[in-house]
Amino acid sequence: MTPVPAELDLDLARKVLDAQPFSRLLGARVTAFGDGAATLELDLREEHRQQNGYVHGGVLSYAADNALTFAAGAALGPAVLTAGFSIQYVRPAVGAVLRARASVVHAGRRQAVVRCEVFCVDADDADDAGDTETLVAVAQGTVLNSA
């Protein structure tokens, strides 16, 4: 549930994310934003794990929720409100970086339908270009235009 200010671009999206104390707590960053799409990443740390050493499902659902909302903001603009989403876990999540890529399937006047894939990236020198992504979850949701 993340309202987003006007005239959105990557710099502004980063300011919005940085204004989220919970995103700072988790260490999230926006690595791409625009044209109805957004990518969030966080460097995986021990504190993101559940008791078996895998990334906690709550970290994956946070990443999906926020990426869906930012992607919608990149299409609907300033004021968006995530109505809800569904997430399916694909496999246990391990790696150096968690990456959530979301893109708008359709944006209307009232709502946007958005999908998201959440990946783990093994390489410690993970970069959006040449690294190897492993899909760990898929999500989709509806984001409302709250303007």
Judge residue 130's burial from the number of C-beta atoms within 10 Å of its C-beta, 0-12 exposed, 13-18 middle, 19 or more buried.
exposed
How many residues make contact with a copy of itself (CB under 8 A)?
60
Site pattern 57..86 for a copy of itself (x: CB under 8 A)? xxx-xxxxxx--x-----------xxxxxx
For the CB of residue 26, give the shortest distance to a copy of itself in the complex, in Å: 8
| 100 in Cβ contact with 116 (< 8 Å) | yes
- Residues in the chain, how many? 147
- Residue 18 or 127: the one with the smaller Cβ distance to a copy of itself is 18
- Sorted by sequence, the CB contacts under 8 Å of residue 140 that are 6+ apart come out as 68, 85, 86, 105, 113, 114, 115, 116
Distance between CA 119 and CA 9 in Å, rounded?
A: 23
Backbone angles phi, psi at 63, to 5 degrees: -65, -40
Residues of this chain, 128-147, that bind a copy of itself according to CB under 8 A? 135, 137-142, 144, 146
- Residue 32 or 59: the one with the smaller Cβ distance to a copy of itself is 59
Q: Does 38 bind a copy of itself (CB under 8 A)?
A: no
- Two structure tokens written together for 128: 């959006």
For the CB of residue 81, give the shortest distance to a copy of itself in the complex, in Å: 8
Binding segment (CB under 8 A) for a copy of itself, from list 6-14, 31-39, 41-49, 119-127: 41-49
Distance between CA 111 and CA 133 in Å, rounded?
A: 30
Binding residues vs a copy of itself (CB under 8 A): 1-3, 16, 19-26, 46-52, 54, 56-59, 61-66, 69, 81-93, 105-106, 108, 110-111, 113, 115, 135, 137-142, 144, 146
